[in-house]
Amino acid sequence: MTKLAFIGLGRMGYPMAGHLARAGHAVAAFNRTRTRADAWANEFGGRAAATVVEAVSGADIVFSCVGDDPDIREVANLAFAAMTRGAVFVDHTTGSAMLAEELAREAAAKGLAFVDAPVSGGEAGAQKGQLTVMCGGDEAAYAKAEPVMRAYAKMVKRLGPAGAGQKTKMVNQICIAGVVQGLAEAIHFAEKAGLDPNAVVEVISKGAAQSWQMENRAATMHDRKFDFGFAVEWMRKDLRIALAEARKTGAQLPLTALVDQFYADVERQGGKRWDTSSLIARFGR
């Protein structure tokens, strides 16, 4: 049994921390809204901590899954000051590679280790324990955290030093943006052409056009149902991070930039909290 802390019990963190507790680890969980931490403790048998400092004190590994760079920075500042030397901080938030690199240096200076470990798989993946975890950081720290992360992951891999996990997540989101836009256009075309989109997808999903998005979102896109997962505002945050990194490295992301603007159109339609498949809403009916 490993002594763990988990900071951030949102849609992803809540079930992820639950898997850790069910795996037999001693988990202290903190959330800004205390009632949610209490509910988590009642459901999974862990301990609700009143503060970040209380949660991380004595923990072998500290996990966080919060909102954006400022949230990661705030949590890390509090946690680093209270963690035991030799402990590992694993951040599952999707943030910038630059911040991950900074936090890795700061952790090392305090005798700690930092692993950036953004995830893919959405809320459903978190609930089922089937996430993909993309990691960057020190090899020894990763080796310590990897078996623990298996409680909620189907794939965990170290891609390189600090920041590599975040950069890999950017690649993931770049791919998703293009695939979802292509699927939205394809279903829109099928509708306008007088075809049955569900029948069309049944056929083409057995060929080269097949994708996770097609298998899981094509039918609901045709039905204009958009309450199945990763929100547009979160995707725009991730694309903003990827586009900023591209400007820094000189990478060209014309399609990603275009799809980001399409998501801005969806937000203007009131779809800030719709899931990413809502790109089709731009076409009406």
How far apart are the C-alpha atoms of 50 and 37, rounded to whole Å? Answer: 9
Choosing from 3, 128, 167, 169, which is the catalytic residue?
169
How far apart are the C-alpha atoms of 41 and 38, rounded to whole Å? Answer: 5
* Nearest Cα residue to 92 out of 4, 174, 26, 177: 4
Long-range Cβ contacts of 66-72 (<8 Å, 24+ apart): 66/7, 66/8, 66/10, 66/13, 66/93, 67/10, 67/93, 68/93, 68/95, 68/237, 69/95, 69/96, 69/99, 71/8, 72/99, 72/103
Between the alpha carbon of residue 13 and those of residues 37, 127, 248, the distances in Å are 11, 10, 30
154 a catalytic residue: no
Helix axes 197-204 and 212-222, enclosed angle (nearest 10): 170
Return the residue matching tokens 């099928």.
Answer: 190
* Nearest Cα residue to 99 out of 167, 9, 8, 149: 167
How many Cβ atoms sit within 10 Å of the Cβ of residue 124?
14
Catalytic site residues? 169
